[in-house]
Amino acid sequence: MFENTDSLIFDLDGTLWNASAVVAKGVQTATKEAGYTHKITADDISSLAGLPHDEVYRKLFPDLSNEQRAELMEKCAKAEIDFLEAEGGQLYDKLEETLRYLHGKYKLFIVSNCQDGYIEIFLHYHQLQRYFDGHACYGAAGKPKADNIKAVVKDNGLQSAIYIGDTKGDYDASQKAGLPFIFARYGFGQVEADVASIDSFSDLQEIF
């Protein structure tokens, strides 16, 4: 099914790592310092995985004005980065082993709806830069995930890429970008479409 594949493009949260607990710690810290009483948990963060960063904050803080939310989002974003730089996130089982295997055969990329700087922390904290050929995110480009996928494909001259993610939003973006999709069932979301799937990240070694 994937015999002509030349590249793999990954979602980040729920696909490569789970950083929900650390992100929630950052958001909760900044929220409390800003004088708000909202309680933000890791489950709150993981339930919104895949949404653009500003949409996450609209869901988390629907009662705030746009101005209040924008100000809080800026403070939370800094706190998230600070906590992630200090603690990293939880890599999925056999992630580096599998990336090493895949990198020997394909070009690898990351496209996420996260804030700018988030992918860089994932790569630097866990020393995974060597396995990836590039990345794009909503926070840096201000574009929907499908557009960022298309840009990665075009800019890198990819001929037969596959997108791998864990939410319906990931699946929808792959379809808009015209790419086949592999569903990471171990992640945060659900995909009802009839697509290839994996139950652990290391399953990719069996497929490719």
- The CATH number linked to 32 is 1.10.150
Q: Are residues 201 and 103 in the same domain?
A: yes
**Residue 144 exposed, middle or buried by CB count within 10 Å (0-12, 13-18, 19+):** middle
Q: Are residues 13 and 62 in the same domain?
A: no
How confident is the model over 131-173, as pLDDT tens digits?
Answer: 999 999 988 878 999 999 999 999 999 999 999 999 999 999 9
pLDDT at 51: 83
3-state percent breakdown (helix, strand, coil) of the chain, nearest 5? 50, 15, 35
- Chosen domain end from 37, 62, 87: 87
Provide the pLDDT confidence category of residue 54 given band limits of 50, 70 and 90. confident
How confident is the model over 1-23, as pLDDT tens digits?
Answer: 788 999 999 999 999 999 999 99
Q: Are residues 103 and 81 in the same domain?
A: no
pLDDT at 111: 97
Q: Are residues 13 and 81 in the same domain?
A: no
Range of the domain at 74: 20-87
Mean pLDDT computed over 24-49: 94
Q: Are residues 161 and 200 in the same domain?
A: yes
Mean pLDDT computed over 165-187: 97
Q: Show Cβ contacts of residue 194 under 8 Å, excluding neighbours closer than 6 positions.
A: none
- Chosen domain end from 87, 113, 132: 87
How confident is the model over 81-102, as pLDDT tens digits?
Answer: 999 999 999 999 999 999 999 9
Amino acid at 127: Q
Q: Are residues 171 and 104 in the same domain?
A: yes
Q: Are residues 101 and 199 in the same domain?
A: yes
- Chosen domain end from 87, 105, 122: 87
pLDDT at 53: 80
Q: Are residues 164 and 100 in the same domain?
A: yes
Helix (H) or strand (E) holding 135: strand 134-137
* For residue 52, pLDDT beyond 90: no
Asked whether residue 175 is domain-assigned, the answer is yes
Asked whether residue 12 is domain-assigned, the answer is yes
**CATH number assigned to the domain comprising residue 197:** 3.40.50.1000
Q: Are residues 102 and 58 in the same domain?
A: no
Mean pLDDT computed over 106-125: 95
Asked whether residue 70 is domain-assigned, the answer is yes
Q: Are residues 74 and 98 in the same domain?
A: no
**Residue 125 exposed, middle or buried by CB count within 10 Å (0-12, 13-18, 19+):** middle
pLDDT at 50: 78
Mean pLDDT computed over 93-117: 96
The total number of structural domains that make up the chain: 2
* Predicted TM-score of the model (pTM): 0.93
Q: Are residues 50 and 108 in the same domain?
A: no
Asked whether residue 145 is domain-assigned, the answer is yes
